[in-house]
Structure 1
Amino acid sequence: MALFDLPIEELREHRSASVEPEDFDAFWAKTLAEARESDLDARFEPVDTGLSTLQVFDVTFTGFGGHPVKGWLTLPAGAEEPLPLLVEYVGYGGGRGLPHEHLLWASTGRAHFVMDTRGQGSAWGGGGDTPDPVGGGPAFPGFMTQGIDAPENYYYRRVFTDAVRAVEAARSHPLTDASRTVAMGASQGGGITVAVAGLVPDLVAVLPDVPFLCDFPRATTITDRNPYREIALWLKTHRGRADEVRRTLSYFDGVHFAARARTPALFSVALEDQTCPPSTVFAAYNAWAHQDRAIEVYEFNDHEGGGPFHDEAKMRWLRSHQL
């Protein structure tokens, strides 16, 4: 599809119409405090993968509600000193996959942690291993409307909490340098990254690629592509509940987390992206609180964004920040 969103000049000025809840900070402080009442109990089991240049650990830690969450920690073989840590979140429908799907970042000499996404991992890649034990009200197939009746019940309350606990778990390993922690991810993973940036104040950088879960008021009306379309289809059936849904989503909108971010960021956006429309990405980018921010614009790409070219851009940017 050709360009369909705002012109680039207007994208660089776009601001979201999402209304921030008055108790946004209190909601998240209470959520994280409740999660931390459970012991993190991060366990790292060595895995024989046949990868001679890397060492891999099968990780289990305690996330939202005391539920076990899985992950992979990958390190360069023979690492003896704490390494800069990259915590990665995966895209919609995917899981942590298999260890050999994650070779790039540990190959650069960094520690790389991949969080499994609860309840997902059956749409692409090597699958997932983390169930979501929490039920909810009537939902459209997918994850976007699970528990959408109230912020306390919403699916992404559990996921964002898991994501913060994943940082804590990864930092607990003796070969990771907690003082040099970077969060990263693409699409859903990018949206989770933006949320973590607003919830974990001492990250040193974040890398959100074509982030999802940003500027819900615009996203749910400008695109008819899933996953955002799941919300519109739920409302098509549950007539008259739009205000209720908007209230719930406002607690999870990336623009409000971005306004609390106190870390440098490198975003990416694709101007033909119908899954995460460029205006929704720019809404989070333009709200970013830290002055050290940059965005790579891929003019003729859809949701694949910069792909391997952006991997190179991220490596250059990390080096420029001595990470």
Structure 2
Amino acid sequence: MPQIDMPLQQLYEYAGVNPKPDDVDAYWDRALEEMRSVTPNVELVPSSFQTPNAECFDLYFTGVRDARIHAKYVRPKGSSGPHPAVLQFHGYTGGSGDWHDKLNFASLGFSVLSLDCRGQGGYSEDTGGVKGTTHHGHIIRGLNDHPDNLLFRHIFLDTAQLAGIAMELPEVDPERVYAMGGSQGGALTIACAALEPRIKKLAPVFPFLSDYKRVWQMDLAKDAYQELRTFFRHFDPQHVREDEIFTKLGYIDIQYIAHRVKGDVMMGVGLMDTICPPSTQFAAYNKITSSKRLEIYPDFGHENLPGFLDKTIQMFLEE
């Protein structure tokens, strides 16, 4: 079989190479304290898009650093009693997308909350200097500042805050809240379940934001990871600060919060993925201690994995 990374057996044993900050758990405990101190001021605004079987809303809440965060919210009409909910997270620089791809879950009796990551392709604010979109460069935002100011810290917290909001909706069963997403969305699925461990099931696909130094070593700091190369070229051209920079990135490396996940995990991996190399994905997967399984696609890269969404729906429907 062709391969762009380690053999599969080595992947199952791989522990990651990015430096781990000594205080990473305290870092996230402190971050969660900040999140819980925020009054979210949740607002539901009926959308102009409506269907006979589902109600559609723009949901807004205030996240850390006073950013106003947006998510699409779809709930089934006529539901009797609390029902399950699915949190959806999108790929890097994207947005929550159109309404239509939420309706499949609504037709099955699920509410759906689809986050816009702050400053990317949707309506969530990035308050780091300007309001609105900043689009790219989010991995390196804050690298020359205190770790508490890393932008992905705030985005990770937005996912956990959205989960908590979902669990407090009267129509949602807080014991049946699930999460899903691919690439950046896969990373945020893991981050969400790590920082809000009441998430019962999660289905990440080829997660991003893991084992940054491995990406660098494989000379794959391009495409979604291009900004790592750009940062070094502009701000540390001789790599004098390399250890410091990768250690700081360790705070927003999902492999170092994956042990917090308590829910059941089904993760999709394409072994020919040159965007998020398989080893970086396994670095996170191997640290998950809850019930977990992999769906491996040997000939696929960073692309649609046939049948995985069907498996996700079946997983979420299982009692």
Residue 311 of structure 1 corresponds to 309
The aligned amino acid for 2:201 is A
Residue 234 of structure 1 corresponds to 231
Compute the displacement of 1:270 (Å).
0.5
Compute the displacement of 1:286 (Å).
0.9
Residue-pair matches, total = 310
Runs of 4+ off more than 6 Å:
none
Alignment counterpart, residue 177 of structure 2, candidates 170, 175, 181:
181
TM-score by length of structure 2 reads: 0.91
- String of CA shifts for 1:171-207, please: whole Å, max 9, x gaps: 2221111121112211101101111222112221111
Residue 214 of structure 1 corresponds to 210
Given that 2:182 and 2:207 are in contact with CA atoms closer than 8 Å, whether structure 1 keeps it comes out as yes
**C-alpha separation in 2, matches of 1:179 and 1:105:** 17
**C-alpha separation in 2, matches of 1:80 and 1:140:** 40
State the SS of the aligned residue for 1:104. Answer: helix
Given that 1:62 and 1:165 are in contact with CA atoms closer than 8 Å, whether structure 2 keeps it comes out as no
State the SS of the aligned residue for 1:232. Answer: helix
Residue 128 of structure 2 corresponds to 134
Compute the displacement of 1:140 (Å).
11
State the SS of the aligned residue for 1:202. Answer: coil
**Does the C-alpha gap of structure 1 residues 140 and 34 become closer, same or farther in structure 2, counting only changes over 3 Å?**
closer
1:145 aligns with 2:140: yes
Given that 1:87 and 1:167 are in contact with CA atoms closer than 8 Å, whether structure 2 keeps it comes out as yes
Given that 1:220 and 1:229 are in contact with CA atoms closer than 8 Å, whether structure 2 keeps it comes out as no
**C-alpha separation in 1, matches of 2:245 and 2:135:** 13
**C-alpha separation in 1, matches of 2:279 and 2:141:** 25
**C-alpha separation in 2, matches of 1:142 and 1:155:** 10
Given that 2:118 and 2:126 are in contact with CA atoms closer than 8 Å, whether structure 1 keeps it comes out as yes
Compute the displacement of 1:54 (Å).
1.6
Alignment counterpart, residue 202 of structure 1, candidates 198, 202, 208:
198
**C-alpha separation in 2, matches of 1:98 and 1:312:** 20
RMSD: 1.9
1:88 aligns with 2:88: yes
**C-alpha separation in 2, matches of 1:300 and 1:178:** 38
Compute the displacement of 1:285 (Å).
0.9
The aligned amino acid for 1:148 is L
State the SS of the aligned residue for 1:102. Answer: helix
Residue 260 of structure 2 corresponds to 260
Given that 1:142 and 1:227 are in contact with CA atoms closer than 8 Å, whether structure 2 keeps it comes out as no
**C-alpha separation in 2, matches of 1:38 and 1:249:** 25
- String of CA shifts for 1:75-102, please: whole Å, max 9, x gaps: 1222232111111111101112332343
TM-score by length of structure 1 reads: 0.90
Given that 1:96 and 1:114 are in contact with CA atoms closer than 8 Å, whether structure 2 keeps it comes out as yes
The aligned amino acid for 2:15 is R
Compute the displacement of 1:305 (Å).
4.1
Equivalent residues in 2 for 1:92-171, closer than 5 Å: 92-121=92-121, 128-135=122-129, 142-149=137-144, 150-171=146-167
Percent identical pairs in the alignment equals 31
Compute the displacement of 1:74 (Å).
0.9
Structure 2: give runs of 5+ residues left out of the alignment.
none
- String of CA shifts for 1:148-183, please: whole Å, max 9, x gaps: 224222110110111111111222221111121112
State the SS of the aligned residue for 1:73. Answer: strand
The aligned amino acid for 1:195 is A
